[in-house]
Chains A and B, each alone.
Chain A
Amino acid sequence: DIVLTQSPDTLSLSPGEVATLSCRASQRISYNYLAWYQQKPGQPPRLLIYGASIRAAGIPDRFSGSGSGTDFTLTINTLEPEDFAGYSCHQYVMSPWTFGQGTKVEIK
Chain B
Amino acid sequence: EVQLVESGGGLVQPGGSLKLSCAASGFTFSDSAVHWVRQASGKGLEWVGHVRTAFNFFATAYAASVKGRFTVSRDDSANTAYLQMNRLKAEDTAVYYCGRQKLDGSGYHIDYWGRGTLVTVSS
Q: Which residues of A contact B (CB under 8 A)?
A: 1, 31, 33, 35, 37, 39, 43-47, 50-51, 56, 88, 90, 92, 95-102
Does A92 lie within 8 Å of B44, measured CB to CB? no
| CB neighbours of A35 from chain B (8 A) | 109-110
| CB neighbours of A92 from chain B (8 A) | 101, 107-110
Does A97 lie within 8 Å of B35, measured CB to CB? yes
| CB neighbours of A46 from chain B (8 A) | 113
- The total of chain B residues at the interface (CB under 8 A) is 24
Instruction: Say whether B97 faces chain A, with CB atoms less than 8 Å apart.
Output: yes
Using A96-B61, A98-B47, A99-B44 as known contacts, list a sample of 16 further A-B pairs with CB atoms less than 8 Å apart, ordered by residue number in A.
A31-B107, A33-B106, A33-B107, A33-B109, A39-B45, A45-B113, A47-B109, A47-B110, A47-B112, A88-B44, A92-B101, A92-B107, A97-B35, A99-B37, A99-B45, A99-B46
Secondary structure call for the A interface? loop
Shortest distance in angstroms between B113's beta carbon and chain A's nearest beta carbon? 4
Chain B 32-75 near chain A by CB (<8 Å), digits 1 or 0 = 00010100000011110010000000000111100000000000
With contacts A31-B107, A44-B115, A92-B109 taken as known, whether A101 is within 8 angstroms of B61 at the C-beta atoms is no
| CB neighbours of A95 from chain B (8 A) | 61
| CB neighbours of A31 from chain B (8 A) | 106-107
Shortest distance in angstroms between B8's beta carbon and chain A's nearest beta carbon? 16
Does B97 lie within 8 Å of A99, measured CB to CB? no
Instruction: Say whether B111 faces chain A, with CB atoms less than 8 Å apart.
Output: yes
Q: List 7 A-B contacts (CB under 8 A).
A: A33-B109, A35-B110, A43-B115, A45-B97, A46-B113, A50-B109, A51-B107
Shortest distance in angstroms between B116's beta carbon and chain A's nearest beta carbon? 6
State A108–B35 Cα separation when bound (angstroms). Answer: 36
Does B45 lie within 8 Å of A45, measured CB to CB? yes
